[in-house]
A and B are shown apart, each in its own frame.
Chain A
Amino acid sequence: MSVLSHSESGDATFLDIVKLTVKRVAKAVFVVPKPTPFNIIAGLIVAMGLVLTYLRFAYGLAAVTNLDGNMPWGFWIGFDLLCGVALAAGGYTTSAAVYIFGMKKYHAAVRPAILTGFLGYSLVPIALLYDVGRPWRLPYPFVVSQGTTSVMFEVAACVGLYVTVLFLEWSIAPLEWLKLKKIRNFLHKATIALTIFGVVLSTLHQSSLGAMYLMTPGKLHPLWYSTYLPVYFFVSSIIAGLSMVMFEGALSHKYFAHKHDEEHRVVGEQVAYGFAKASSVILLGYFVIKLIGLAHDNEWAMLTRDFYGWWFLLELLGFVALPCLLFAIGAREKKLKLIQVTAGWTVFGIVLNRLNVSLVAFNYHLPSSERYVPHWMEIGISLFLVTCGVIAFKFIVTHMPIFYSHPEFPEDHH
């Protein structure tokens, strides 16, 4: 095992390294949690989630969902998949900014962004196991029936490959924690290649998620349906990624302040100002292409016609134009609090947009009695999965060098 060696024991055998690694991981994992409010609430949600998981897999989709022939894609696709993938875009946006566009001053933001991205993307296939009627067929697109003409094949292939890329990018942190120097250095050298691959894959599948809805012109409300849907999804994913990095950074500075070293503490503010400026410009661009979509299909009259028109205006003005202005003011006047609040608002706006496309404006022509409303157990399972992600995030940032540089591996900038 030439690539595996331990910094503490240069001549250790592979078996020694495995033993030491298992011991270190076990020591961190098997700890009785303290009864803090977070642990109690998270524990209750996980317990509920395990019961719901049993119901889902023992009694099928009908036992826990309101899905039917009209609405085979429900809350899990809208929230877990569309929102999950969009909000995990911070990984590729931040690493592209640092490693491809050379913005080294944001280097400290890369690891938290990659971690959030990795956890977000990891939850997607897990959520799909719940959502797909016969989950054991999830690998079929790769090994049985490719269906390469389907947009869904591209989404499946890109998400599968990108989870692998994110795992490799993220694994540098646990390898430093476990002090597996050689394999860590090997992966560290591959950072640029992994970043480029990640950006290519993200560009493809973020837009393809929008392209999936191109096949629903009769079902999706015209204000949300557009031939520009792939462009909307891709551009808004950049906004989602940047906002999520700022929002997550604000929460991390509050709840994991003791884990931050001086560099990460200072750089955190610079990241917020820079990303807010970028977000305001991209939000303006997004606002303009949304207007172009309206103009292209001449849908102006629909804006004030009924509920859907006002709802669309609320999304466009309240969650695109308003955060664009607030980010611009925050970046110009260096108002950190305003930027952090706006980032949370924008994240909420992206969630609203994805739920509008997948649920609210979908099947808009059906009478209200036939409209889909998510079952509470669907929302419960999504809450369970998000909580698992938060627990994993807490575990990782508590034990691994995410918000600080490991003393044995000072971060070298490419």
Chain B
Amino acid sequence: MNEQFYVLQDFLTFTEGVTYTVVVASLVFFVFFWRFLSARDSDE
């Protein structure tokens, strides 16, 4: 990710964009992770 940044706004737009992508992907992943983690609980 060797982007060329000319002004601070370029840098923040890029890093905030990546940050939000990570957050949204994590929230989606967490749903599947929780279902995996709790799958056996409902069997008991």
Tell yes or no: A280 within 8 A of B by CB.
yes
Q: Which of A65-73, A136-144, A186-194, A287-295 contacts B (4 or more CB under 8 A)?
A: A287-295
Question: A284-B30, A288-B23, A300-B1 given as contacts; is B37 within 8 A of A295 (CB)?
Answer: no
Complex Cα distance A301/B14, Å?
Answer: 14
Q: Which of A328-336, A338-346, A400-408 contacts B (4 or more CB under 8 A)?
A: A328-336
Q: Mark B1-38, 1 if CB is under 8 A from A, else 0.
A: 11100000001001100110011001000100110111
A269 to chain B, nearest CB (A): 14
Complex Cα distance A267/B33, Å?
Answer: 26
A19 to chain B, nearest CB (A): 54
Complex: chain A residue closest to B21, CB-CB: A295
Tell yes or no: A150 within 8 A of B by CB.
no
Complex Cα distance A277/B15, Å?
Answer: 32
Tell yes or no: A263 within 8 A of B by CB.
no
Which residues in B have their C-beta under 8 angstroms from that of A295? 15, 18-19, 22
Residues of B in contact, count (CB < 8 Å): 19
* A interface: dominant SS: helix
Number of A-B contacts (CB under 8 A): 43
How large, as a class, is the contact surface on chain A? 10 to 19
Complex: chain B residue closest to A327, CB-CB: B37
A99 to chain B, nearest CB (A): 24
Q: Mark A280-324, 1 if CB is under 8 A from B, else 0.
A: 110010001001100111101100000000000000000000000
Complex Cα distance A328/B3, Å?
Answer: 37
Which residues in B have their C-beta under 8 angstroms from that of A292? 19, 22-23
Could you tell me if B1 and A301 are in contact, using CB atoms closer than 8 angstroms?
Answer: yes
Could you tell me if A296 and B36 are in contact, using CB atoms closer than 8 angstroms?
Answer: no
Interface residues of A (CB under 8 A from B): 277, 280-281, 284, 288, 291-292, 295-298, 300-301, 328, 331-334
Known: A292-B23, A297-B15, A298-B3. 12 other contacts (CB 8 A): A281-B33, A284-B26, A284-B30, A291-B22, A296-B19, A298-B1, A301-B2, A332-B37, A332-B38, A332-B39, A332-B40, A334-B40
